Structure 1
Amino acid sequence: MRAMFGLVGLVVVLAVVGVVVKKQMSAMRTPVPALQTAAPASAPAGSSSATVRDQSQQIQQQVKQQVEGLMQQARPMPDEEK
């Protein structure tokens, strides 16, 4: 009898996991709206209409400049103890 309850419990747990996996898989199949390559028409006149690629390159450039700036700084030397 105890084994039967264990088996039924296992089947119930597998059913619940199956339902959750099915929901997750169906959520992944929904189409994602495409990224806009230009600024929307309602954007202010002063904003730039940079593409995603331009923005990515700008961020990469900023990170590169920050790393190079950090590499130029002198490393603090530990105090010598006698």
Structure 2
Amino acid sequence: MGILGLLLALVVVGLLAKKQLGVVSGTAPATQAGVSAPVGMPLQQSQQLQNQVKRSVEEAMQQKRPESPDQ
């Protein structure tokens, strides 16, 4: 019974490890239309994401706000 439990635990750990490795090396994450997924090392991905957010904020700031009916 002890060896069977040990083998069962080993199988479960192996399946979990395989699942995690599949997530890490799997397909690229889904993105919004017009936004590319960061590619490369984690530092590069972070910098790319920061640049995308910065561009998005700058574009939002450039857009004209609708005028309020009170004016």
Q: TM-score interval w.r.t. the shorter chain?
A: 0.3 to 0.5
Bigger relative contact order, structure 1 or 2 (CA pairs below 8 A, ≥6 apart): 1
Given the two structures, how large is their TM-score scaled by the length of structure 1?
0.41
Relative to the length of structure 2, the TM-score reads: 0.46
